[in-house]
Structures are given as structure tokens and as C-alpha cells.
Amino acid sequence: MLDVMDAQDRLLAAKVNQAHYANQDRGAEVKYEVGDLVLMSTENRRRAYKSKGDGRVAKFMPRFDGPYEVTKAHPDSSTYSLKLPFSDVKVDGFHSKLLKLWKPNNPLLFPDRQFPEPGPTLNTDGEPEWLVEKIVDQRKRGKGHQYLVRYVGYGPEDDRWLPGAELDELEAMDKWLEEHPQT
């Protein structure tokens, strides 16, 4: 019986020793907060793409995708929920090892790293259409109003003032009028 207990003690000591040396080189886990912008690893998508066969390689696929906004944070379990626009992904939680903090590019230091801005989509007539994210502001011009429009994928520096007549059938316009009733 003593030999069995001695073996169990030695196994426990070996586990503690292994955990000590394994954790020695690990860095502290990054904790994200709600509202942070993060990049998500494309590791699983690349693996799924390559598994379809036909000699596929994912050499030129990006390693990270985003930025996405953190909507729910659970740092105790290392899982985070992200706002994934235009996605059919139903996964609500992503492990922190799949995420990294997004740092915006400084175009003065790295002009070649500037991502191209998204272009317009084509409607059924083949004419370009820009996707409107939201209406930011309004001002009176002549007998009507102009609205400050922010496009999907663009920042505040690219907002444009457009007359209300051009924004008649937009969901963003309906939402703006609902939130800001005309007096």
C-alpha cells in the first residue's frame, strides 16, 4: 500500500512541476471590455477552406479579420461575444485566444498598410449604391433639410451632407426621424 501512495505522490509532484514550467513562459491573458474593437482569427475558416480538397491552399488568406466590437465580456471564462455584421455565424462566444486588440493604422507612418475603403454595391439596374450605416446629424438648408450620412465601412471623416429627398426610402432615415421627431 505504501508503494501505491508513494507513486501517487510522485505523480502529483510531477504534475505540479510540469505546470510550473509550462506556465513560466506564458504571458498574462489579455482581457477585453465591452466596446473594445478586436480582430478575430480566421484559423477555423482557413482550415475549413483547405479541407474541401482540390489541392486548396490558404496561403494568401488573412490571418485575422475585423475589427469587431465586443458586445459581451466574460473574462472569468475567457469568452467574448462580438458584433458580427453581415455574418450568418450563430456562435455567441469566442475564446480570447482567437482575438487580439485592434490597433488603427497610422497612415503617416505606414501608408502601404492602409486598407482600401469599400466600394459601392450594384443595384439591379447596374448602378452603384452605397450602404448607409446611419444618419449622424441634420441641418436646415433652404426649404428643406440636409442629413449627415455615415457609410458602412467608413469613418466620420468620410461623412457627407445629402438632401433629404435622396434619403426617402432608407431605413436609416426612418430610424433618424423616429429618434428625432420634427418640430
* Alpha-helical segments (H) within 25-180: 43-51, 171-179
> Which of 44, 84, 45 lies closest to 66, judged by CA?
84
Mean pLDDT of the chain: 83
Under the banding of pLDDT at 50, 70 and 90, the label for residue 151 is confident
Q: Are 93 and 81 in contact (CB under 8 A)?
A: yes
pLDDT-derived band at 53 (thresholds 50, 70, 90) equals confident
Over the stretch 112-137, which tens digit does the pLDDT of each residue have?
877 666 667 667 777 777 788 888 89
The three-point CA angle 134-176-162 to 5° equals 65
Q: How many whole angstroms separate alpha carbon 7 and alpha carbon 110? A: 59
The burial class, CB within 10 Å (0-12 / 13-18 / 19+), for 99 is: buried
What 8-state DSSP symbol labels residue 163? E
Q: How far apart are CA 139 and CA 159, in angstroms?
A: 14
What are the E-state strand segments in the chain?
Answer: 37-41, 64-74, 79-83, 94-95, 99-101, 121-122, 128-129, 132-141, 144-151, 160-163
CB 161, CB 148: distance < 8 Å: yes
The cell for 12 is 502529483
97 CA to centre of own chain: 15
**pLDDT beyond 60 at 183:** no
Cut 0.85: pTM above it: no
Each domain of the chain, given as residue ranges in start order, spans: 37-108, 121-179
Instruction: Give percent of the chain with pLDDT exceeding 70.
Output: 91
- Name the fold adopted by 121-179: OB fold (Dihydrolipoamide Acetyltransferase, E2P) (2.40.50)
